[in-house]
């Protein structure tokens, strides 16, 4: 620590160069933070999702609705505590804005999704109002909805009995998430399945996908296999997986985000390696006489090596910290402005840890060669300018 002033002043020996190198490093770590946050988000799926819940979808694909008559059969299976069902409504707000509207049973929804918080009065109103709809806090705030309001929502899939696609619901409640990450997900709406089943032209036979809550989350695999085995070779073969895998599978369909991100980051870090490496090498080359003076004063080879290495480390560390802070600000901004895509993307501990590793690796790669060279400087040759 007593050498800190020495390191600090040699770092800023050439101000312009130090600033420019630092700015490039900041750019590199800004990109690292942004891209890695995306990559971690996509590869981990939504990590916060309750692992104790299973999603039962049609084997063909999740867009095929499973019939409602499967509900009691699944409910009766050992290990199953509660079941609800989400039917995608194809909701459209205004001209063309997609809404995440699902038809569910109010009582079953409340039991299977304890993550949604709403007052007892609102739950009761949802249960008792046939044309009721409840909206997530973020969905409601984004459009200025208030409880008691009528919401005209079109469906791009389901006509009403009279053939019209224009539905109208009464907003009876606004639900919150149990914690910050669930709050970020309050983008959806639920309508009353009973009314939906009666009023739509295609009949009441379908349920969508089933959400299954288990007695014991440890039994998830066994119950999932049992459900799939039960419906094997029926016209409604199922695919049962944890809610986490279900979400992960959905994101995986967008493409191999992880691979794209890695390729970009390789290009970025290769560039920054050449740049910073060159700067450090140059800095040491210019200072050879000074290093010789240090050694004359009694600094050992090892200390001189360490001084140069720490200089590289300090440079990379400042760049990494500032870059990552900028990335965090940028992502928080994105999450607030475009919640449907970036709501849960964060520069979390994993991302910071990865940035730390990248920083150490970079500092060693650019600092070690000139540091070793500095340690090997011969006093006599250096002072003689050879």
Partner 1 sequence: MIKQIFEIVLLNVRSIPDRLGASLVIVVGIAGVVGVFTALFAMARGIDSTLIASGDPNNAMVMRGGSQAELNSSFSRETYELATTAPGVRLSASGKPLVSGELIVIAELPKKGEKLGSNVTLRGIGEFGLELRPSLKIVEGRKFTPGLQELLVGKGASVQFEGLTVGNTIRLRGADWTVVGIFESGDAFESEIFTDAATAQTAWGRPNFFNVALAGLTDPGQIEAFRAALTADPRLNVEVRNQREYYTAQTGQTSRGVKVLGTAVAIIMALGAIFAALNTMYASVSARTREIATLRAIGFSGFPVVASVMVEAMLLALIGGVIGAILAYVFFNGMTVSTLGGGFTQLVFNFRVTPELVVFGMLLAMLIGFIGGLMPAIRAARMQVTTALRAA
Nearest to partner 1 of 300, 340 (CB atom): 340
Q: Which residues neighbour 326 within 8 Å (Cβ) at sequence distance 6 or greater?
A: 26, 30, 33
Positions touching partner 1 (CB under 8 A) are 16-17, 20-21, 23-24, 27-28, 30-31, 34-35, 59-64, 90, 92, 96, 154-157, 159, 163, 165, 202, 232-235, 237, 239, 245, 248-249, 252-256, 260, 263-264, 267-268, 270-272, 274-275, 278-279, 281-282
Cα–Cα distance measured from residue 192 to residue 132, given in angstroms and rounded to the nearest whole number: 6
- Cβ atoms of 203 and 160 closer than 8 Å: no
Q: Nearest distance from residue 106's CB to partner 1, in Å?
A: 26
Q: Nearest distance from residue 119's CB to partner 1, in Å?
A: 35
Nearest to partner 1 of 109, 359 (CB atom): 359
Structure tokens at 379: 């006093």
* Helix-strand-coil split of the chain, %, nearest 5: 55, 20, 25
Q: Nearest distance from residue 15's CB to partner 1, in Å?
A: 11
Cα–Cα distance measured from residue 359 to residue 295, given in angstroms and rounded to the nearest whole number: 29
Q: Nearest distance from residue 25's CB to partner 1, in Å?
A: 8
Q: Which residue has the tokens 């070793």?
A: 372
- Tell me the sheet residues that pair with 214: 80
In eight-state DSSP terms, residue 221 is: H
How does 82-99 read in b/e, with b if 16+ C-beta sit within 10 Å? bbbbbbbbebbbeeeeeb
Q: Nearest distance from residue 341's CB to partner 1, in Å?
A: 8
Backbone angles phi, psi at 116, to 5 degrees: -90, 120
Q: Nearest distance from residue 166's CB to partner 1, in Å?
A: 8
- Cβ atoms of 235 and 59 closer than 8 Å: no
Nearest to partner 1 of 114, 361 (CB atom): 361
Nearest to partner 1 of 137, 248 (CB atom): 248
Nearest to partner 1 of 254, 297 (CB atom): 254
Q: Nearest distance from residue 110's CB to partner 1, in Å?
A: 28
Q: How far is CA 115 from the centre of its chain?
A: 18
Instruction: List strand residue ranges (DSSP E) for the chain, in order.
Output: 53-58, 66-67, 80-88, 91-93, 97-104, 116-117, 132-136, 150-155, 166-177, 188-192, 206-214, 238-242
Nearest to partner 1 of 10, 276 (CB atom): 276
Nearest to partner 1 of 111, 268 (CB atom): 268
270: helix, coil or strand? helix
**β-bridge pairing 97-104 and 188-192:** parallel
What is the CB neighbour count within 10 angstroms for residue 18?
A: 17
Nearest to partner 1 of 111, 322 (CB atom): 322
Q: Nearest distance from residue 169's CB to partner 1, in Å?
A: 17
Q: Nearest distance from residue 60's CB to partner 1, in Å?
A: 5
Q: Nearest distance from residue 19's CB to partner 1, in Å?
A: 8
Structure tokens at 327: 């990335």
Nearest to partner 1 of 103, 125 (CB atom): 103
Residues in the chain, total: 386
Give the residue among 35, 51, 34, 31 at the shortest CA–CA distance from 248: 51
Cα–Cα distance measured from residue 200 to residue 124, given in angstroms and rounded to the nearest whole number: 24
Nearest to partner 1 of 21, 112 (CB atom): 21
């Amino acid at each position: 620590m007593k050498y800190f002033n020495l390191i600090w002043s040699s770092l800023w020996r050439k101000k312009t160069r130090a600033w420019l190198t630092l700015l490039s490093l900041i750019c590199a770590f800004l990109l690292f933070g942004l891209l890695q946050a995306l990559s971690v988000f996509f590869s981990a799926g939504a990590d916060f999702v309750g692992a104790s819940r299973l999603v039962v979808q049609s084997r063909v694909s999740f867009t095929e609705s499973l019939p409602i008559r499967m509900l009691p059969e699944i409910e009766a299976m050992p290990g199953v505590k509660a079941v609800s069902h989400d039917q995608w409504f194809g909701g459209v707000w205004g001209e063309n804005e997609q809404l995440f509207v699902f038809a569910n049973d109010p009582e079953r929804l409340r039991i299977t999704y304890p993550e949604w918080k709403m007052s007892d009065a609102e739950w009761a109103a949802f249960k008792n109002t046939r044309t009721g709809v409840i909206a997530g806090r973020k969905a409601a705030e984004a459009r200025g909805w208030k409880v008691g309001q009528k919401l005209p929502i079109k469906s791009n899939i389901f006509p009403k009995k009279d053939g019209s696609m224009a539905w109208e619901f009464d907003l009876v409640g606004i639900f919150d998430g149990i914690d910050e990450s669930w709050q970020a997900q309050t983008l959806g709406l639920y309508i009353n399945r009973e009314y939906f089943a009666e009023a739509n032209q295609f009949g009441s036979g379908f349920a969508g996908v089933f959400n299954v809550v288990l007695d014991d989350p440890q039994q998830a695999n066994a119950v999932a296999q049992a459900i799939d085995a039960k419906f094997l070779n029926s016209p409604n073969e199922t695919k049962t997986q944890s809610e986490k895998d279900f979400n992960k599978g959905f994101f995986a369909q967008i493409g191999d985000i992880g691979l794209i991100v890695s390729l970009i980051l390789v290009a970025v870090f290769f560039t920054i390696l050449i740049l910073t490496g060159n700067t450090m090498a140059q800095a040491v080359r210019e200072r050879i006489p000074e290093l010789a003076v240090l050694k004359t004063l009694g600094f050992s080879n090892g200390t001189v090596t360490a001084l140069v290495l720490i200089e590289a480390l300090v440079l990379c560390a400042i760049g990494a910290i500032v870059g990552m802070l900028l990335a965090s600000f940028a992502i928080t901004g994105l999450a607030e402005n475009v919640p449907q895509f970036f709501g849960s993307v964060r520069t979390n501990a994993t991302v910071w840890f990865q940035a730390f590793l990248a920083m150490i690796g970079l500092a060693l790669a650019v600092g070690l060669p000139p540091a070793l060279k500095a340690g090997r400087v011969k006093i006599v040759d250096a002072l003689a300018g050879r």
